[in-house]
Structure formats: structure tokens, C-alpha cells
Amino acid sequence: MNLQQLHYVVALAEAKSFTKAAESSFVVQSALSQQVRKFEEELGVTLFERTTRSVSLTPAGEALLPLMHQVVAGLDQIKVDAQALSGIVTGRLTVGMMEVPSESLDVATLMATFHSRYPDVSVTLRSGGSDVLLTATRDRKLDAAIVGSNVSRAADQLSFTHLFTESLIAVIPCDHPLAKHRTVSVTELAALPFIDFPPGYGLRHETDRGFAEVPRRVAFEVTRVDEVVHFVRQNLGVALLPESVARTRADTDASLALRPVTGVEMQRRVHLVAPQSHLRSAACQAFIACVHEHLASH
């Protein structure tokens, strides 16, 4: 048996699909299937039950999987320790990123700093909702992620580092009757159609929490801040956005009005999530340090 076969077996156990395991391992499906079969033959046990529609672990596979995870984690740690000893940071860094407007975190400047210091690290950015990014970090498909912290922390093998917090503010059409008020209540907003992010996004977790006692109707779900603002501008509903983001978009736009919300406190709390320190690559450790330095200087 070899280490690549072990990685294929673990990938298949997690994906429960030869197609998905092959995609995540960057190998053709037939090759992955062949290597998994060879691994089973050398062990002398069948690890997977295979049908035309699904793949599942056998009792032997269930029993051996925790040990295989330990071996893979140990190999990853050897790479981390070797880079730390050499003092050279190389390899690949894959970072998950919910939409964080530059008003809150200037990602381009952050990455420019990181690249200038660690030019031998290849960086890949992945976008998505906070729930998806958390799962991908827990599954070691991402080295780190910036997420809305208004999400579950059930993944105890992850560390959460607070980056910043800001209040949510209502964005409404300027000709709406509520725009005449200095503040708007949760009850008043709940009577209007909402433009919001889909379930699984950090902001959606927070707005759903804020309206838990006052039912509202989400008329439109979009995935970008600029789309939220544009939909409000078209009188399709109201929205809640982090204050710095809303002011950048709406302070100079006469068609929009921004109003503080009363009745419940809603905030966007942003965290950097990563594996526990002993499981991070040297590139991941360097990136985390750059994030903290960037925020401290802005």
C-alpha cells in the first residue's frame, strides 16, 4: 500500500461517491477506484459496500477510518513541521471567503501583503456562504475561511478568531413612508417584503434571529451586497446590511434611506476560522498572522 491510496480511501469515505472523491482528489474515477481496490486487497478486508447508486463503509471500514484519519493528519503535520524547521513557506493556500466588502476588509491589499512576503505560496480563494465554508474548513478542503460568526460552532476541531463586529442598519427606498422616521422598528420592517441572503449565509442567520419573534417575508434571496442594494433601489423591498457597507453604497444615493433599527440588536460578527494550530500548514499560519496585522493597521 502507499500514501496516495490512503488519501483516496479517506476521500471516498468522506464523499461517499466515487465521482465526488475523484473530483476532490484531482484524479480520474477509474484510477481512484482501482487504487482503492488495491488498498483493500493488501489489507485483506473490504472497506466499502458498493452499489450502482451509492458507496458506504463496511463495519471494517468504520472501525479503521479513525486510524486512517490519524495517519493522514500525521502526514500533514510532518509537512507543517518540516516547513517550520526550514524557515521557508511554500506550497498552496486555499482560503474561503464570504462576501466581505473592502470597507470592512480590503482583501486585495491583504493578499498583496501576503504575496510580497511569501511569493512561493500559491493562493486560491473560494467564495460561498458561511455554513459551506465552515464545513469545507472542517473537512480540510480549505486551510482557513473568513465567515459570519452567527453560525453554528459545532466543529470543535476548528478555532474561531474574532475579527470585527458592526451593527446592521435598515436600507429602504427614500420615498417609502418609513423614510420619514429617524428610526424604524422590527415590527414596522416585518410588514414589508425583504431582500436577504440565502439560508447558510452569516447575515441571514443574524436577520432570521432578529425576526424570530416577528414573522417576515423574504421576497428575494440574492448572494451579493450590490444586488441587495439594487433591489431596494428598484422598490422591491427593504434590507438589512452592515452599517459601513450600507453607508458606502447609500450615503450618496438619493434614492435610498438608511435608518437604525429598534426592538432588537442585530450585528454582523466576522471571524477567521481555521483548524487548531497544530494542524495548520506554515502557509496557513503565515496568512493568519497577515490578517491580524492588516486589521491592526486599518
Q: pLDDT tens digits, residue range 188-202?
A: 999 999 999 999 888
- C-alpha cell belonging to residue 208: 432570521
Give the range of the structural domain holding residue 156, as residue numbers without chain letter: 88-163+270-297
Which of the listed residues 70, 85, 100 is the one where a domain comes to its end? 85
Can you tell me the mean pLDDT for 132-154? 79
Residues ≥6 apart with Cβ < 8 Å to 41: none
- What pLDDT, on the 0 to 100 scale, is given for residue 153? 56
Q: How does residue 84 score in pLDDT terms, banded at 50, 70 and 90? A: low
3-state secondary structure of 124: strand
Mean confidence (pLDDT) of the chain: 87
* Antiparallel, parallel or unpaired: β 91-97 and 144-148: parallel
Question: Do 120 and 26 reside in the same domain of the chain?
Answer: no
3-state secondary structure of 65: helix
Give the dihedral of Cα atoms 63, 68, 74, 80; nearest 10 deg.
-130
Question: Do 170 and 243 reside in the same domain of the chain?
Answer: yes
Question: Do 240 and 102 reside in the same domain of the chain?
Answer: no
Question: Do 169 and 255 reside in the same domain of the chain?
Answer: yes
Question: Do 227 and 290 reside in the same domain of the chain?
Answer: no
Question: Do 11 and 64 reside in the same domain of the chain?
Answer: yes
User: Given a cut of 70, is residue 24 above it in pLDDT?
Assistant: yes
Q: How does residue 130 score in pLDDT terms, banded at 50, 70 and 90? A: confident
**For residues 36 and 103, what is the distance between their CA atoms, to the nearest angstrom?**
48
- C-alpha cell belonging to residue 37: 481496490
* Cβ neighbours around 81 below 10 Å, total: 12
Question: Do 159 and 195 reside in the same domain of the chain?
Answer: no
Total domains in the fold of the chain: 3
Question: Do 236 and 190 reside in the same domain of the chain?
Answer: yes
* Antiparallel, parallel or unpaired: β 261-262 and 48-50: unpaired
Does the reported pTM lie above 0.85? no
Percent of the chain residues past pLDDT 90, beyond the cut: 47
Question: Do 178 and 255 reside in the same domain of the chain?
Answer: yes
Can you tell me the mean pLDDT for 135-159? 76
Question: Do 158 and 282 reside in the same domain of the chain?
Answer: yes
Which of the listed residues 46, 61, 85 is the one where a domain comes to its end? 85
3-state secondary structure of 207: helix
Question: Do 193 and 56 reside in the same domain of the chain?
Answer: no
